[in-house]
Structure 1
């Protein structure tokens, strides 16, 4: 099958709807900071001589992506100071968050983690907070300006922009660091944040946004502030209690194993992901080697895996795909264990990255489809945000300890141990599959947590 006509049709659709073009640019802006505070940064830290234990602990800055639901209601209800007068609530928060990301990247560029680690940690944490806040606002803007029937195309544009950003922040940053230096790489990435700032400044505020805002205020007006702050606190609590109550009402006690499954499903990938780049550095691969195979080649293998997961959901069904994805994603870490035990062999590096990226993306698509099937149309955005935060949170917490584990047992044993998490994941998939014979129709998926 020739993909070129479909690609041309896709690009023609984007050109015909300016919301899709802005969604592409905002997806790029959303994806750019993630690797710069996660795997790309771990390569920089290891090259600077930072210990594996410290690299693992520094990965805790990415917890902002999992905790963003905590301040999302504030962003959703209140105007930002200053920019809202000219840009409105959504775009005003977007520009503020993007400016914060750019400022954080400047701080990372001018800090040397080999000499002083704490300034690097502070800048990374600030960047993560601003990047997670940007994601909250972009999701809200996407839902505001488009009807449910067009959400699929909006998400496709978002994912394309996000993947292009991963190429820039992964392969692009590593190439620049190899041929120039890390400061130049991070400053170049800061410059690319202008793509998001320009898109946020000129993005449309469609009628759905205003209608959605007035409807929301009519249903649940923001209470007047009281000296004790009780009324706003009550409204804030309802932002979480009502969506959770709806899930429990529909799913009953089966919600417990479902939540455990969601929490464990991508745990192996998050735990091992922190140590992948340090492994490649310790084996002696150059930054250009890592950029070419892991970031440039690997990103396309990941996209193939994501499409394969979507096809599997359509043809085999949701639960069989979820079961298969959980098993293969965990088992794929055995290829990293083989690489760690065999040494710096370029062919094994390519094989390990191929297997892991394909399996991880396949599983990611399966989990996103499953979490979408659990949401109710009345609470789709909030419920999906809560579920996506849950699936990332345990992995990021344990991922912070991954460096200490590797220092204790070594790379091969570490990656073998992460693969064993696939056993309880498979059991939970079977429990949920046979315990929940009826699946709620899927709502449009929001952005998964990083």
Structure 2
């Protein structure tokens, strides 16, 4: 004895006076045996009638799989049995995982599933073919189920705005679903994750290789003063030129690289500006200016440097599709990337040319009290007068009989006259106190 829908072994049970059949093992059943709401029944009826009204299509209600693995609410099948679409009315909530599992079963059997739901699903990387109608378990059921075909239909794979038009479009034109089955989407997502991991690994290795080349270039570079001594060519208004000794990364040929910065005419410099290495250069670069080459040649003659200067030639960038001037090896014509040159540390460079320092801190005389108004005449302030000192020692003394604030002695205060005066002052009367 088996259950009629799922085909699982059934056993007879009783509860009081009620007798019924139940699953022998409920865990083996994947079919929902719950009762259907009026809204669910009305939607299935409306879908069936809409499918049957189309030429070349017919509908089945509660269509089961031969093995009872699934049961379709409404199955739309073409008359030639080449195309099948499963309409599943899902008015209650369901987890995304269950949507994926149940949809994959239909895809595996060559049936395209369409879920008719009342509200949009939560965002998920796995796309499920759904049509949102707004008709749920608490919605009012119309007397004529065909009225449900006038509900608004929202689907990502169809432009129809009504449920009836959506059903017609799916059956006549076919489902234009570009995401594939859930398993195909999971596999594609896994491949994308693996591809991104490979890209990150390649980028990490590329950066490590760049860092290694930068470190190698720094280890192979040195300031010219270590080999030829400290010497700077001074010019009237010439450029600032820094140089470094390095070698070709391809043939290890030694050469001289330089960085130049123009000095503005008429500007008096107290010191050389900080070294600023450019990461990107254009077709025209100041390092190739005749004045820069002239001072470099003067420095090489003065220091008897036997190293060759790197050549500057035009190259074309593949990434930017633009030309630029780059240093190349004078021996093998290998490119010396400007990005690697800009990463050479500052202590590997020496100043080989600079304009005359026309003003120094020792020669510059700063005013004692500079006027903040820059050249305007200072405001005249009144002279500060010396304080008048009064000598109180030479003031004439006042006779004792005229000093009214003179302090009296203890004997004078305790004499009868002193006591009487004190009482008179205390009582506030001018008459002498006549007491005991």
Same fold (TM over 0.5): no
Whose helix proportion is higher, 1 or 2? 1
TM-score range normalised by the length of the shorter chain: under 0.3
TM-score (norm 1): 0.18
The structure with the greater share of residues assigned to strand is: 2
Structure 1 or 2, whichever has the larger Rg, is 2
